[in-house]
Amino acid sequence: MNTGRQITIIGAGLAGALLATLLAQRGWRVEVFERRGDPRLHGYAGGRSINLALAERGLHALRQAGTDDAVMRQAVMMRGRMVHPLDGQPELQRYGRDDSEVIWSINRGELNIVLIEAAEAAGATLHFDRRLEQVDFDRSTFVVKGDGHEEKRSFAALVGADGAGSTLRGQMAQVADLGERIDWLDHGYKELEIPPGPGGSFRIEPNALHIWPRGHYMCIALPNDERTFTVTLFMPHAGPHPSFETVPDGDAAADFFASDFADAVPLIPQLEADYERNPVGSLATLTLDRWRIDGRAVLVGDAAHAMVPFHGQGMNCAFEDCVALADALESHDAFEAAFSAFEAERMPNAAAIQHMALENYLEMRDRVDDADYRLQRALELMLQDRHPHRFVPHYAMVSFMRIPYAVALERSEIQRGILQRATAGIEHLDAIDWAAVDADVRSRLGLLEGTPA
């Protein structure tokens, strides 16, 4: 039973710090153990991407914790994708209908610090430099190490917010079959930087997520509030050119960028040095058949369902998890019932966004500058006007609404069929058979609750 309202969280990353805040604000006694040092004292030791896209799901969770204002002070608005074709001028493709439908670029380190401060202000106790090593589920104890220190502690229940390589998940797997599967993407990523321009200005349009789509590889760039951009190159780890194997060093990267991303070259003065210094990151989709050991331990965020980053939803989904788990803990007396309700609610939704994230890689790297894609995108917006409570574009359902991801996926698949049938064999919207399309929409899509007006 959770009558003592005590809980132990492993990891003070994005999910761990937010969950600690939400629970401490509701009167829980929360202890958090984090492997890294306190980022407020030693600076933020990253590891994953430097910045992230924050969308409505994540923002909603931040509002619940009262941390949205502090986070948004450092955020940069992104209205849409600025697509940089191989030849020709960059073009903005808006994500939504206007500036009420946008996403935000935020710095991971700054966000983490805001959440850590909020957790402490709410009364949670955070222990830094304390790495979970081992759990004894029978005795309800665990061992943390760090700073030459080793300690055994007891717990009422453990929450694993310790990321994709979760130690808690590893410990749980020793006492129960979690059904773990890891599908590695054969593409990796490397980060580069566009520094500020003369006079400290942004060198390219700041209010956009820039994409250089090139078929089976791409670059993207997200703005930072200090007027830089973090550029991420995604391409295969190995195989025919270009891959990280055929572009092994700074000199090769300079040639590759000159031929494939020519307009980005003058923007990245340290290209060779960044390329040599920064590691190639790996990406994977993690799925589990169970996220918990009865009422003793449960996983959230990347520890439960790491995903590829192409929908910019990993953190947003992890934040939704935190709200769902905090709500479940408030509405059930026993940990087991709360963890079970949380898992039942979130597992199908995590699977849906993992699927959509994989699909979105193809869209970003290959489809965004195709004529048929642009025609379907224009039609999507017109159908949204004609059927505002029925047809909501895929991107809007995922990024501007909080309907369950599984519902967004199901409706997106129906909508894709409608768009494909409507545009088959035509090149302009003038040729659309509106009566047929409207009938298709009405017959296949029910009204969607919570639709933006």
Ligand X SMILES: Cc1cc2nc3c(=O)[nH]c(=O)nc-3n(C[C@H](O)[C@H](O)[C@H](O)COP(=O)(O)OP(=O)(O)OC[C@H]3O[C@@H](n4cnc5c(N)ncnc54)[C@H](O)[C@@H]3O)c2cc1C
Which residues of the chain form contacts with ligand X (CB under 6 A)? 10-16, 33-36, 48-49, 52-53, 131-132, 161-163, 167, 189, 281, 301-303, 309, 312-316, 318
**Min separation Cβ 79 and ligand X, Å:** 16
Residue 134 vs 270, nearer CB to ligand X:
134
Instruction: Please tell me the distance from the alpha carbon of residue 371 to that of residue 85, in angstroms, as a whole number.
Output: 12
Task: Please state the closest distance from residue 167 (CB atom) to ligand X, in A.
Answer: 3
111's tokens: 């966000």
Cβ-based nearer residue to ligand X, 322 or 418: 322
By beta-carbon proximity to ligand X, the closer residue of 281 and 416 is 281
Residues 20, 122: contact at Cβ < 8 Å? yes
Q: Which of 222, 200, 202 is nearest to 267 (CA)?
A: 202
d(CA 343, CA 88): 48
Kindly tell me which of 10 and 119 has the beta carbon lying closer to ligand X.
10
Residue 35 CB, nearest approach to ligand X (Å): 4
Residue 328 CB, nearest distance to ligand X (Å)? 17
Q: Which helix or strand (DSSP H or E) is residue 288 part of?
A: none
Nearer of residues 108 and 411 to ligand X, judged by Cβ: 108
Q: Between residues 322 and 375, which has the closer beta carbon with respect to ligand X?
A: 322
Question: Min. distance of Cβ 34 from ligand X in angstroms?
Answer: 5
**Nearest approach, Cβ of residue 330 and ligand X (Å):** 21
The least distance separating ligand X from the CB of residue 387, rounded to whole angstroms, comes to 29
Which has the closest alpha carbon to 110: 197, 17, 193? 17
Contacts of 277 (CB under 8 A, 6+ apart): none
User: Whole-number minimum distance, CB 137 to ligand X, in Å?
Assistant: 16
**172-177 CB contacts, 8 Å cutoff, 24+ apart:** 172/135, 172/137, 172/292, 172/293, 172/297, 172/299, 175/137, 175/293, 176/290, 176/293, 177/289
Q: Write the CA distances from 86 to 93, 215, 239, 259, 355, integer angstroms.
A: 16, 11, 22, 9, 29
Name the residue whose CB lies closest to ligand X: 13
User: How many other CB atoms are there within 10 angstroms of residue 410's CB atom?
Assistant: 12
**Distance between CA 34 and CA 132 in Å, rounded?**
8
Strands 29-33 and 6-10, by their bridges, are parallel
| Residues 6 or more apart whose Cβ sits within 8 Å of residue 39 | 45, 109, 112, 113, 116
Closer residue to ligand X (CB): 161 or 437: 161
Question: Between residues 168 and 441, which has the closer beta carbon with respect to ligand X?
Answer: 168
Q: How far is the CB of 435 from ligand X (least distance, A)?
A: 40
What is the nearest approach in angstroms of ligand X to the Cβ of residue 19? 9
Nearer to ligand X, 312 or 390 (CB): 312
Q: Residue with structure tokens 């004529």? A: 371
Of the two residues 264 and 418, which places its CB atom closer to ligand X in the complex?
Answer: 264
Q: Min. distance of Cβ 243 from ligand X in angstroms?
A: 18
Alpha carbon 25 to its chain centroid, in Å, reads 25
Question: In this complex, which beta carbon is closest to ligand X, that of residue 39 or of residue 213?
Answer: 39
State phi, psi for 33 to the nearest 5 degrees.
-115, 125
With beta carbons less than 8 A apart as the criterion, state whether 213 and 83 touch.
yes
Q: What are phi and psi of 215, to 5 degrees?
A: 90, -100
Query: By C-alpha distance, which of 83, 81, 108 is closest to 96?
Result: 81
Cβ-based nearer residue to ligand X, 33 or 339: 33
- The distance of closest approach from Cβ of residue 306 to ligand X in the complex, given in angstroms and rounded to an integer, is 7
* Half-sphere exposure of residue 380: CA atoms within 13 angstroms, side-chain side: 24
- Residue that has been written with the tokens 């909508």 in this structure: 415
